[in-house]
Amino acid sequence: DTGVSQDPRHKITKRGQNVTFRCDPISEHNRLYWYRQTLGQGPEFLTYFQNEAQLEKSRLLSDRFSAERPKGSFSTLEIQRTEQGDSAMYLCASGQGGTNTEAFFGQGTRLTVV
């Protein structure tokens, strides 16, 4: 399978713990995005990488959140000191090229904070 893969698919954690998610984009894609989707809502943009550079962060991304994309390949999203409000589906997408090209999404990581 050469699509976008995310790991883990599900994560249950206790409030206050740190969690880290991984995204492996399609190999030739230089653009990588993280989105968050809560129940009954559409995905909301969190952050964007072009190659290894993080070029934009949403105000939704509080200082407890950090994302990296070392070497411009896979990316990690870490949430420190998780809160119940962090419970959501975290989606990764990748793309290549200009404004008219498609973004391909992974299946997401569902986080539940108890």
Size of the site for another protein (CB under 8 A): 29
Question: How far does CA 30 lie from the centroid of its chain?
Answer: 15
Stretch that binds another protein, among 22-30, 49-57, 61-69, 79-87 (CB under 8 A): 49-57
- Find the helix or strand (DSSP H, E) in which 102 lies: none
Peptide bond between residue 25 and the one before it cis (omega within 30 degrees of 0):
no
Among 2, 40, 59, 85, binds another protein (CB under 8 A): 40
Give the C-alpha separation, 56 to 46, whole Å. Answer: 8
Any contact of residue 98 with another protein (CB under 8 A)? yes
**Contact, 38 vs 105, CB < 8 A?**
no
Residues 54-93 that bind another protein (CB under 8 A): 55-56, 91, 93
Any contact of residue 51 with another protein (CB under 8 A)? no
Give the C-alpha separation, 56 to 52, whole Å. Answer: 12
Binding-site ranges for another protein (CB under 8 A):
3-4, 31, 33, 35, 40-45, 48, 50, 55-56, 91, 93, 95, 98-108
